[in-house]
Amino acid sequence: MKIYLASVSPRRKSLLRKAGIKIQVIEPDYEEKNNARLSPLALTKKHALGKAFSAAHKIKQGILISADTVVYLNGKILGKPKNRRHALKMLLNLCGKWHQVVTGVVLLKIENGKIRKKIVFSETSSVYLNSLNNNEIQKYFKQVNPLDKAGAYAAQSDHFGLVREIRGSFTNVVGLPMEKLKNKLDVLK
């Protein structure tokens, strides 16, 4: 069965391809709006569902994967930074602390253009970032574009030794909890 990804994230695409999962990318027609009243789990699931349903009508037959990832620190959800100044502030706030990375995932099995099965799940990992000063973060941003990443950092390209420790799924921190995803895909096939 053909597998589709409702995401333009190069990290998610790369994770799936490295796992040997052939995909076709479909850009979702969904605009994320962060709702401060929702928990990180509820918000990521809501966004993943929105992305999935906005792309499902483009598929006649197959399995559709969608996901959303946020960083959560001290009761506050951090999405993608608005600009470099916001990214700097965000990363300075995360450095030297534990925070959580939460990903909501939706799988839809589509047959004859209709959704036949839906699986919704989430994964949470904890991450500790080493302390970096303003100048070190600016150098880091020359290596890693912070604007398309929740929390303004990339665990998979760990320049400057930014990530000290990850508790839980590493691939979740990158953007897609592959261990859980593979198990759920087996259920749908």
Question: Are the beta carbons of 127 and 163 closer than 8 angstroms?
Answer: yes
- Given 68, 148, 158, 186, which residue is catalytic? 68
Rounded Cα distance between 110 and 62, Å, is: 5
Q: Which residues contact 31 (CB under 8 A, 6 or more apart)?
A: none
User: What DSSP character marks residue 95?
Assistant: B
> Which one, of 9, 59, 64, 61, lies nearest residue 32 by Cα?
9
Catalytic, 68? Answer: yes
CA 65-66-71 angle, to 5 degrees, is 140
Distance of CA 100 to the CA centre of its chain: 12
Catalytic residue numbers read: 68
